[in-house]
Amino acid sequence: MTEKFDVVVIGGGPGGYVSAIRAAQLGLKAACIDMYSDREGKASPGGTCLNVGCIPSKALLDSSKHYYHLQHEFAAHGISTDKAGIDVPTMIERKNSVVKKLTGGVSQLLKGNKVAFYHGKAMLQAGRKVDVMPADGGDPVKLEAENVILASGSVPIQIPNVAFDGEFIVDNVGALDFTEVPETLGVIGAGVIGLELGSVWNRLGAKVTLLEALPDFLALADKDIGKHAAREFKKQGLDVRLDTMVKSAEVSKGKVIVTVEDAKGESQYTFDRLLVSVGRKAYTEGLLGEDCGVSLTDRGQIEVDENSKTTAPDVWAIGDCVRGPMLAHKASEEGIAVAEMIAGKPAHIHFDTVPWVVYTDPEIAWVGRTEQELQAAGADYRTGSFPFGANGRALAGGHAAGMVKILADKETDEILGVHIISVNASELISECVVAMEFQGSSEDLARIIHAHPTLSEAIHEAALHLDGRAIHRGN
């Protein structure tokens, strides 16, 4: 028997489960299919984000930050302890329980919204028919839908001659589950994931070396923020080797030997463990039946237009499996927009105002254009900035590192980009996203009352500085 739905969503990550819930809220009969299983083989909706991405990495970043602060920062507050200790299995278990709570919450939300959930692997066939192979090995299930949303996510990129073995050479999944602190950890790729997971194990005592092919550090971020971050991370002991291309890696006698090429030629590094974090690629394996009509781009992503429509009628695709930044909030917002379009409502996504965050210490967050992007586009802009070293709240808390930088159009003063490196930058950026979403000007930020003493006053001062009237720094 074939069950019929208004909307079938393939993938239960932050793109998929959110779109299924929104579709159900709009009165559509919705189903969500996800194949992810937890350690006991049970369904664990929430995708990469909840299971092996955003949430577990933040749990470990928070645990490791407490340990690091206990050792390196509490003394300045007059707090001492005999000896700091770290029990890695307890830390990992805590992380696992946070994940379990949230994935269980997603199951409840799907149920509460009357979304039919299928635990298994789905394949889209022609005419929006969907075949599901249940994870428990049961008989295949056949579904049919007026609309199908593909939200199959992404997987780590593997580089030639560096094979994952799940123990010595790992991806994010392995690096979130080490049972002890490796003495030395190599990280290939100093991008967002490499820096976050590298920071976790560095704070716990591993000697961490990041091998990065590009000549610039954090090339995606604004160059001033990148420079600032490089200085801070160096102080923390993260050893970042730029312009260093990894050629191969092999495991020998319990160690990982990595061969790299840099300006001096070929050389080798030896590590106890190696994390490969060179980016992620769309995951579409076994997703698309031969005649389903969905095309892929030459980068292997599902081809979509600006409204997330694929090349097959009434088949949509969202999140990491399509173009755009691989971020959970981007996936969710696309999912909501698509559900609303299916229900006949107007919806859109502003890709220009998607915030980015790197959860290092200090955190790095930005929205809009970087200064180098504006320069490349020949834009006429003004810049304002403010250091957290002159912010009362930051000093009171002992978090004086970092700065805010605002870029605004020279003529209209519209905000073009805001870049923050500081403690809690992930929260501070929201104000700037709102301002940009409303096409606000730097003058708007300068005139808004910011509570004192708060970190947000640094945004206020940077906006004032842009107009040469900062109060707490020279102009």
Binding site partner of 189, from ligand AMP, ligand FAD, none, Cβ cut-off 5-8 A by kind: ligand AMP
Which one, 159 or 204, has the nearer CB to ligand AMP?
Answer: 159
Catalytic option among 452, 460, 465, 472: 452
Minimum distance between the CB of residue 36 and ligand FAD, rounded to whole angstroms?
4
Which one, 86 or 276, has the nearer CB to ligand FAD?
Answer: 276
Which one, 34 or 272, has the nearer CB to ligand FAD?
Answer: 34
Minimum distance between the CB of residue 172 and ligand AMP, rounded to whole angstroms?
10
Structure tokens at 270: 């030896």
Q: Name 365's bridge partners.
A: 357, 420
Among residue numbers 348 through 377, which ones bind ligand FAD (CB under 6 A)?
359
Which one, 66 or 227, has the nearer CB to ligand AMP?
Answer: 227
Selected from 212, 222, 272, 320, the binder of ligand FAD by CB under 6 A is 320
H or E stretch covering 34: strand 30-34
Which one, 34 or 212, has the nearer CB to ligand FAD?
Answer: 34
65 binds ligand FAD (CB under 6 A): no
Which one, 194 or 417, has the nearer CB to ligand FAD?
Answer: 194
Residue 16 to residues 21, 49, 304, 308, 338, Cα–Cα distance (Å) = 9, 11, 16, 13, 11
Residue 417 to residues 66, 105, 366, 465, Cα–Cα distance (Å) = 32, 35, 7, 15
Match 């933040």 to its residue by tokens: 58
Number of residues that bind ligand AMP (CB under 6 A): 16
| Residues, the chain | 475
Which one, 62 or 216, has the nearer CB to ligand AMP?
Answer: 216
403 binds ligand FAD (CB under 6 A): no
Residues 315 and 178 sit within 8 Å (Cβ to Cβ)? no
Q: Name 405's bridge partners.
A: 385, 419
Minimum distance between the CB of residue 262 and ligand AMP, rounded to whole angstroms?
10
Binding site partner of 15, from ligand AMP, ligand FAD, none, Cβ cut-off 5-8 A by kind: ligand FAD
CA–CA dist 204, 461 (Å, integer): 36
Selected from 238, 326, 446, 463, the binder of ligand FAD by CB under 6 A is 326
Among residue numbers 178 through 237, which ones bind ligand AMP (CB under 6 A)?
188-193, 211-214
253-256 contact pairs (CB < 8 A, 24+) = 254/168, 255/168, 256/168, 256/169, 256/186
Binding site partner of 154, from ligand AMP, ligand FAD, none, Cβ cut-off 5-8 A by kind: ligand FAD
Minimum distance between the CB of residue 214 and ligand AMP, rounded to whole angstroms?
4
Q: Name 342's bridge partners.
A: none
Minimum distance between the CB of residue 310 and ligand AMP, rounded to whole angstroms?
24
Q: Name 383's bridge partners.
A: 407
Q: How far is CA 404 from the centre of its chain?
A: 21
Structure tokens at 183: 């003495």
**DSSP letters along 219-245, please?**
TTS-HHHHHHHHHHHHHTT-EEE-S-E
Binding site partner of 361, from ligand FAD, ligand AMP, none, Cβ cut-off 5-8 A by kind: none
Q: Is 452 an active-site residue?
A: yes
Count of C-beta atoms within a 10 Å radius of residue 61: 18
Number of residues that bind ligand FAD (CB under 6 A): 36
Which one, 45 or 440, has the nearer CB to ligand FAD?
Answer: 45
Q: Name 316's bridge partners.
A: 149, 309
CA–CA dist 177, 175 (Å, integer): 5
Residue 315 to residues 5, 122, 260, 337, Cα–Cα distance (Å) = 13, 14, 44, 14
Selected from 35, 86, 211, 464, the binder of ligand FAD by CB under 6 A is 35
Span interacting with ligand FAD, options 24-32, 41-49, 344-352, 456-464, rule CB under 6 A: 41-49
Angle of CA points 264, 269, 274, to nearest 5°? 130
Structure tokens at 172: 């994010």
121 binds ligand FAD (CB under 6 A): yes
Give the catalytic positions in this structure: 452
Using CB under 6 A as the criterion, which residues of the chain lie in contact with ligand AMP when the complex forms?
159, 188-193, 211-214, 245-246, 277-279
The residues that touch ligand FAD, with contacts defined as CB under 6 A, are: 10-16, 33-36, 47-49, 53-54, 57, 121-122, 151-154, 172, 193, 283, 286-287, 319-320, 326-329, 331, 359
